Homo-oligomer: A and B are copies of this chain.
């Protein structure tokens, strides 16, 4: 068990890790937590290249705690939530109780764990649903992250402790309706208030904003009229006069339906200068946040893929066709399983490597583009391929894989669509940009 975590969140992860009896989940194939006891090396299809050997005991304990919470508390409600397009904000409080929010941050009630440990947390959440992971990522990487990295001491004190507990919910407003892959062309603007000194008026629209309809504080990126430079603002819903901030929900989504998504509409919304990040300017600010979130996605993907693999394997073993053979006996099925397991193993090693480099200050944005792109692409590919094993039964949402496939399209496309990351990498490799 993580001493750090234990010290800081005694009522959270610690309690959970030691006392919560694991309920007997018989109908759903879940990942076994127990490790083999024999010393002879044996192949473990759930960890084909033994990435566990690269983890510290703390990290393993954190991961197990997160897995337990997710399987026991999140999994049972995801199906209905997805059907109803409903996100329960209490989830963030529960995560906060366990110390899962802003977990890499030191202080302010945060756990201060390694990047790899935080990746294991996102993996656990995404094993249940990418929408739940999205809600957590926004809170941790996209809001607590920049407050911690770029905020004033006062901003940190004001927001981080409540956010770490899930009492204050955050959202991150970068993408605009007409500028998805090209945020540098954003139109949202911050103008000096004509009469009130030290106040900006924000106007513009952001879209596809996870958590926006329920957020208490919204990090909004806008161009400062005076300089044309992009700056970040902490917009507090409670302080906005009526009509200056609207956050309508986007309904009838084709994926990530267990998360809540909306727009941010700002109409001369007054924000005091104290709520602006003091120094960070240009795209460096939002891109730093995105890097952190993308790392979480890359790691989280492995949970989604492992879940698909485990479900498909169980189904293939239980479902019998043609003279009573299990589907698992068929070569075409085995190949799908083998290839998925390979990408689980490879993708996890890559995510751990970047996590380690991150903590050593050696990671670069291109590395994160690489693992975000590859892990999303491969996970989406395999989820679709594994879905084929279920045949027509996959059309029932109770087999879960249909939901996962729908979710994964979104994770592939948000925070840098796959092709965009190709071009980021292509530029890094060749020194030539091919965006225009």
Binding site for B on A (CB under 8 A): 41-43, 45, 48-51, 53-54, 83, 175, 178-182, 185, 208, 250, 252-256, 261, 313, 316-317, 320-323, 325-326, 328-335, 337-339, 341-342, 345-347, 349-350, 353-354, 356-357, 360-367, 370-371, 373-374, 384, 387-388, 391-398, 402-403, 405-406, 409-410, 412-414, 417-419, 421-423, 425-432, 434-436
| Contact yes or no, A425 B342, CB < 8 A | yes
| Contact yes or no, A321 B179, CB < 8 A | yes
Q: List 22 A-B contacts (CB under 8 A).
A: A49-B353, A49-B354, A50-B357, A51-B353, A53-B357, A53-B360, A53-B362, A182-B321, A254-B397, A323-B436, A329-B430, A331-B422, A334-B423, A334-B429, A334-B430, A338-B423, A342-B425, A392-B410, A392-B417, A395-B413, A402-B409, A405-B409
| Contact yes or no, A331 B331, CB < 8 A | yes
CA of A329 to CA of B426 in the docked complex: distance in angstroms? Answer: 9
Please report whether the interface of chain A is mostly helix, strand, loop or mixed according to DSSP: helix
Chain B residues with Cβ under 8 A from A409's Cβ? 384, 387, 394-395, 402, 405
Max chain B CB contacts within 10 Å: which of A361, A373, A392, A429?
A: A429
Which residue of B is nearest A177, CB measured? B393
Q: What number of copies of this chain does the assembly contain?
A: 4
| Contact yes or no, B330 A331, CB < 8 A | yes
Chain B residues with Cβ under 8 A from A418's Cβ? 388
CA of A337 to CA of B424 in the docked complex: distance in angstroms? Answer: 11
| Contact yes or no, B392 A180, CB < 8 A | yes
CA of A367 to CA of B256 in the docked complex: distance in angstroms? Answer: 34
Chain B residues with Cβ under 8 A from A341's Cβ? 370, 425, 429
